[in-house]
Amino acid sequence: MSIGNTLLGLLEAGPKHGYDLKQLYDKQFRQDRPLHYGQVYSTLNRLLKNGLVEENGVEAGGGPDRKRYAITEAGVTNVEEWLKSPESPSVYLQNTLYTKVVLALLSGRGAQDLLDAQRSSHLCAMRELTARKTDGDLADQLICDHALFHLEADLRWLELTAARLDDLARQLTR
């Protein structure tokens, strides 16, 4: 996800301080890794430098001055273009798990234990996501569904690969 475009999108509702943007981001997107304040301010500085936001007032306080930022017309155009652009589908033609399977077979170690351990790890993650989804609101349900569907696809791949291990091993040792 583009943090810069996300912050720009949040600024479309009106000027905000960096602190407010961070709080709003964490509230709306509830990721497992919240946005750090340093990332907010470095992103805002880059957006300012690129003319996508502008300072919209400064408030003195007990600590550092609090700058308020507003989106510019160029920033609005940037967000519009970003929202209209489809995301590239995540195509995993080469991933670490496949590499481990091949290396295990090439070394004569076998890959069934690896696949079994991975399956167990995926099922554990799926149970955690299902519990989170059950206890969560619609936003949690949607993000958990997205992750669950990806894990389900991985599980199908694990099953298919397990069924084809002997054939793969023969091809690799030719």
- CA nearest to 66, candidates 41, 46, 49: 41
What proportion of the chain, given as a percentage, has pLDDT over 70?
93
Is pLDDT at 151 greater than 60 in this prediction? yes
Its pTM stands at: 0.69
The two structure tokens encoding residue 70: 């507003």
Residue 91, C-beta contacts closer than 8 angstroms, at least 6 positions apart: none
Is pLDDT at 69 greater than 60 in this prediction? yes
Give the chain's end-to-end CA distance (angstroms, integer).
Answer: 43
Rounded Cα–Cα distance for residues 10 and 27 (Å): 12
Is pLDDT at 61 greater than 80 in this prediction? no
- Long-range CB pairs of 10-15 (<8 Å, 24+ gap) are 11/53, 11/69, 11/70, 11/71, 11/75, 12/71, 12/76, 12/79, 14/70, 15/56, 15/57, 15/68, 15/69, 15/70
pLDDT at res. 34? 80
